[in-house]
Amino acid sequence: MGIYVNPDHASFKKAVESQIYIDKSGLIPILNGLLGTEQCYVCVSRARRFGKSVTAGMIKAYYSKGCDSRELFHGLEIEKDKSYETYLNQYDVIHVDMAEMWSNVGKKEELFLSTFNKTILEELQKEYSMVDISQCSTIAMALSQINHVCKAQFVVIIDEWDTVFREAKQNKKLQDEYISLLRALFKGESSKRFIALAYMTGILPIKKYGIESAMNNFDEYTMISPKMLAKYYGFTSDEVQRLCEQYGMEFDKMCEWYDGYSFKNAEHIYNPNSVVKAIRFEAYESYWSHTEAFSSLSGYISLNFEGLRDDIIRMFAGERCRVKVGSFENDFVSYKSKDDVMTALIHLGYLAYDLESKEAYIPNKEVQEAFEYAIEGAKWSEVVNAMDASERLLRSTWQKDVDAVADAMEKVHAEAASVLQYNDENSLSCAITLAYYHAREYYKIMREAPFGKGYADLVFVPKKNKDVPAMIIELKCDKTPEEAIAQIKERNYMDGIQEYRGNMLLVGISYDRKTKKHSCAITEW
């Protein structure tokens, strides 16, 4: 048993014995089905604090010959699977956390690969003393020799595989040498004999050169398309609901704060780190915003690509924006367009992505707060001013002060005109959502919502325990606000808010393209 070769199960034991542990061992039967096949190369990339290392520790604990993990897996989902006994602690395992390895060399980047190579070779020699690997200069050569003599097959787990691309962004020579090392380990012909399973994790997918992956024999599962592994990317709704019932937490607030990542095979995925902290500390806060990734958000959104700023503001206001994800080269320097930047933000977890519609959006309140801080840090004054004025606008609406509402919209229009093309109802809707930013504290806001006999432009449904009136806002260009309110009534949008009982404000806001003037009418229903 070594630190890296045939390691123990200490990290997984720590996870299982924690106050809150969600069983994700259902992933293991999927991996068991890949053992020793052409599909045994797996790369799972997901955002920070989404459980990558915990999962890697679980896989290590299950396969490693260096420990007996039967007791740890007792009662977990994998124990019921027919493959459980067959592979439990039956493989030679190499497990390396590249972020930890990187920290061991400090700022001496040039020592990283030699340290990695030397460390693993030394442990292999100790573990397989009956095999002479003294003449082997690489890990791949040593594993090939061990396999030749002992017929040993390895499960190789590389956690935080993309550390080099994150920490040495400009060191292309080191990056290329690192990829060459991994290719020799996983893509050479001899590796087919000694690799039973290769499992890599990271924030980024495998580096691309042009449109081709550097290791195209790997199947990749990402924040864009996790495929059948989606429910292992975070906590599911059922898992979070059970936790809320167990610990007396409000499920609706968990949804608001930490839900929002949606995939074909898992419609609701929650940030697991934040859910656990919210339960432990009995407080709904932005826990993820303290990570290193969030501190750099202002830098990403301020990159000088045409249309990027406009799309960020639209998403901040609640819209979705189309993103072409195919050109991103899976590093943090090769940006060529706004689509590349937004694709990076998806992988980092700042944005969620709808694969079917090919649209990105801000997933939840926790991330929304991070964007708010980032926008303030980027000194986008037109957005900051709109946010600052939004509380006054909301109170003016509640008081049915139509002149104050119209005047506030004039100011938002003037501030946002440099960013948003303001000549249609869709852009007007975006600007108004931005103007009512503070309303998120009181309402669930729905845009283009199917209500009554049509689609209401903006619907504000009060959150639980918020004593405020529901609101329906209809927007018109070159028409009167009274016509907007008439449409609300004619199409009976009011009946769409099924669970609400109380007063409702019907708000019509219009914009005259010629005069650039806004007008407002408000009726209580």
pLDDT of 421 over the 80 cut: no
Q: Which of 179-183, 263-267, 300-304, 407-411 has the lowest average pLDDT? A: 407-411
Instruction: Specify the CATH number for 380-524; select among 3.40.1350, 3.40.50, 2.60.40, 3.90.320.
Output: 3.40.1350
Q: What is the pLDDT of residue 295?
A: 62
Q: Which residues are registered as beta bridge partners of 91?
A: 64
pLDDT of 192 over the 70 cut: yes
Q: What is the pLDDT of residue 424?
A: 53
pLDDT of 443 over the 60 cut: yes
Instruction: Name the band, by pLDDT with cuts 50, 70 and 90, for residue 488.
Output: very high
Q: End-to-end alpha-carbon separation of the chain, Å?
A: 73
CA distance 67 to 353: 40
Mean pLDDT of the residues in the chain: 91
Q: Which residues are registered as beta bridge partners of 488?
A: none
Residues in contact with 78: Cβ distance below 8 Å, sequence separation at least 6, in sequence order: 25, 26, 28, 29, 62, 84
252-268: pLDDT as tens digits = 999 999 999 999 989 99
Q: For the domain 10-221, what is the CATH code? A: 3.40.50
CA distance 432 to 150: 69
Q: What is the pLDDT of residue 242?
A: 97
Both tokens of 163, joined, read 């550390």
Is it true that 10-221 and 380-524 share their CATH fold? no
Dihedral of CA 475/476/477/481: which sign? Answer: negative
pLDDT of 425 over the 70 cut: no
Whether the Cβ atoms of residue 127 and residue 2 lie closer than 8 Å to each other: yes
Q: What is the pLDDT of residue 289?
A: 64
Domain-by-domain residue ranges, the chain? 10-221, 235-375, 380-524
pTM, to two decimals = 0.92
Whether the Cβ atoms of residue 160 and residue 52 lie closer than 8 Å to each other: yes
